[in-house]
Structure 1
């Protein structure tokens, strides 16, 4: 009866999609466990307990409305990490057990995102939740993958790619005149080890890269719905493009998750698998109908003149709109935080784990791991209002040597007694040329631009 719903030639695609989503879930939960004490814990910069006191459940549905202690947060994180590992070996679990396991992953991670405040306001958080929700209905390896869910995964990939392509053309003239990559590799949030080399590629090649990006994001997504092997070729083009982006910078798990979705469009030899059980078709068709309804909002957003990036239209983070780098920063500024015993110094610099600081340090590779404080510091350098809710608390934590917050940093220059004063300055950063790199050994040249936060003591705060 339900044979039309089966897609046995996508067995390998289902395997790749589910295992990679489980891997991204694992990275997400590990990131949470390592960073929540300093960001969201009881002594963090924006405690969850304080958030749930003023934001009702209906606006931010989360398990942490019932309890939000550090022990409860850690328990949810460890449960999610364990469930992510279990999902890697759940291929032959009963269908009902598959549903329960993947639903648990989605509930736990959505509970984190919905109370994560500014630290979880990134598009790839909603992307993981939407992909993870669809994975619930892909089913285990001993039944044929349901075709409607594979179509929905391709529709999700279409929104990621086409939405990003549209916002680029509409958002910044440098995408239209093909000069965006004159700046992007140098000014992106967290450059990687190869970003400087990408930045100094010949400018004609940069223009070719932008043209290829437009083709991949504005044309190729439509081919995902073409007959095979065209859809598989389109998916491979997207995968190659995402691998190129992974080499050029650190974008958390955005690239890995986009690659994951592309596998949903790649077919292979049909597997000899039974159709899904009849009862399983009911939730699959219900979810398909739900996403057909939810498609109205992202389609309206993409077709409208006021397109926005990375917007969830409901509290469940389903049927979202996506996009990235609708505008390109031409000049890179960095927030440099320093402490001292008195105004005469010496001023010693705090080092972050991935964002540029010491000019001699090569930018590290951290993706697909996500360093949330480092990302937010990039936004603060562009517009200080991004730090309004947490930057004073961060500076106060430095003046107190609070271990939860200091654990978010790479180096604390005051390991014994905390400083009496802290300040934050803006510096302009430029990638050194190949010759300057050989002569100085430094990857960056930086010059002080202005004060961001003048010297402050605990009494001032």
Structure 2
């Protein structure tokens, strides 16, 4: 069945699978490093409590069978090993069925983590990794040429990622339509990077060009992905360049890198570099039947996401099924004009008076010390830092976990403290902690030269009043 496979995309599959393996590797390392303080048995939002109230059918996960911190660690490290094997090309030397099993186990393990991850795993790139990882199961290995149907499903996924993001902007904040959103976005985005100050200080005309180019990349180029080659390759190149621009201007975990990996899956490398990979053999009949069945499944499940694209009430980053097989995507339908940061402080004073000294906890990624250059974090994902940004937008985002976080700091919890960059109380925990709300703004060039600071900040008010382990008190604003 010559129509079933496309040997021209053998090299594209190689690039795609290695890149996806690398993204999986980062994702599992993040899980291994952060699950215990966030989700562990003594974490801020413990998995066992979640499993008690959420049934398997709503959130399928291996952890419904058994949960312990040791088991979670085993799942995470298994994912790390399998992802490293995928990066090394191990699936290509395995039998076809074994290669598919490796990708299926990766997907099932990460699905199990996401489905118990609660707010810590509520980001669009989690569903994107799961949907991409599910399709990768059926892309095969070096034993057979890539199946054409799966290649088209990858195009459909990339189209939804980009076109959905473009539409949500046009339907959302007016600043996207009048080309002014990037006057604010580089400063108010969740996790600025080391170049964000420079991007924010670009002339307004260039900010308008940025927005216009974004509209082209997210509303025009995605349609061209379905065109014949080399037009599809050019469209994929536009996506790659746009995503690299986003990589340079901020930190969005592995969202941009995974989008790049998807775009590289439909590049005709013969046309770009004149390179090809050895073509695989004929596809076994059982494999053909499986790919056909999966294609039908994805087409059926695509109805709701496709309807969402044309809906006036378009949803962002929403999964219509608990397996995250076909999702809807999008980001920044609205842009914050002001940046608010929650700053946590502690003191060893036994009585709270107006003249006591408070010391500030420093986070690894989010803005804190105004003189600290925003770090490059992505593709790594600092989950607590991201949720602290949401907390600055509204206290409702902080309700489930912020007071537990403060109590962990009062108890000197080592696992939680490892999530931070600096603990001002290394010898013994403080007697009280509190949270303040500040407004942050990038300094201008003159202020930067005079003070050496990247940020200027002004106190808005108290976010959580002083908390002690003795009385159970404290409230958000």
TM range (shorter): over 0.9
By how many angstroms is 1:434 displaced?
Answer: 1.8
Say if 1:27 and 1:368, in contact at 8 Å, map to a contact too. yes
What's the offset of the Cα at 1:393? 0.4
Residue 475 of structure 2 is matched in structure 1 by none
Partner secondary structure for residue 233 of structure 1: helix
CA drift at 1:50:
1.1
How far does the alpha carbon of each residue in 1:361-385 deviate from its partner, in whole angstroms, 9 at most, with x for none? 0000000000000000000000111
Deviations 1:265-317 (A, max 9, x none): 21234643322222111111111101110110011111111101000000000
TM-score where L is the length of structure 2: 0.95
**Alignment match, 1:287:** 294
- C-alpha deviations, 1:11-51, integer Å up to 9, x for none? 11101111111111110000001000110011110011111
The corresponding residue for 1:59 is: 58
2:115 corresponds to: 114
Matched, 1:27 2:15: no
Aligned equivalents of 2:13 and 2:4: distance in 1?
A: 14
Number of the residue aligned with 1:418: 429
Report the equivalent of 2:462: 451
Match of 1:440 among 451, 455, 461: 451
Which residue of 374, 388, 393 corresponds with 1:382?
393
- Per the alignment, residue 346 of structure 1 pairs with 357
2:279 corresponds to which residue? Answer: 272
- Residue 220 (structure 1) aligned with residue 221 (structure 2): yes
1:152-202 deviations in Å (ceiling 9; x for gaps): 001000000000000001110110110000000000000000000000000
Aligned partner of 1:104 in structure 2 is: 105
2:336 to 324, 329, 352: 329
- Superposed CA RMSD: 0.9
Where does residue 164 of structure 1 map in the other structure? 165
TM-aligned CA deviation for residue 99 of structure 1: 1.0
- Check conservation: 1:43, 1:404, Cα contact below 8 A: no
Whether the aligned pair in 1 keeps the contact of 2:7 and 2:280 (CA below 8 Å) is yes
Q: State the distance in 2 between where 1:202 and 1:186 align.
A: 14
What pairs with 1:35-434 in structure 2 (closer than 5 Å)? Answer: 35-88=34-87, 89-90=89-90, 91-269=92-270, 271-342=278-349, 343=352, 344-434=355-445
- Supply the distance in 1 between the matched residues of 2:267 and 2:119 (Cα, whole angstroms): 36
Alpha-carbon shift at residue 92 of structure 1 (Å): 2.3
> Using the alignment, how far apart are the partners of 2:163 and 2:471 within structure 1?
49
Count of aligned pairs between the two proteins: 460
**Residue deviations 1:40-84, cap 9 Å, x none?**
011110011111111111111100111111100000000010011
**CA–CA distance in 2 between the matches of 1:130 and 1:144?**
21
- Say whether the 8 Å CA contact 2:142–2:279 is kept in structure 1: no
Partner of 2:273: none
Deviation track 1:124-174 (CA, whole Å, cap 9, x = no partner) reads 000000000000011112310111101000100000000000000111011
Conserved? CA contact 2:193–2:376, under 8 Å: yes
Cα deviation code 1:198-238 (max 9, x no counterpart): 00000000001100000110111010000100000000010
Give the match's secondary structure for 1:118. Answer: helix
1:395 and 1:52 mapped to 2: Cα distance?
24
In structure 1, distance between residues paired with 2:367 and 2:17: 35
C-alpha displacement at 1:387, in angstroms?
1.0
Deviates more, 1:223-232 or 1:264-273: 264-273
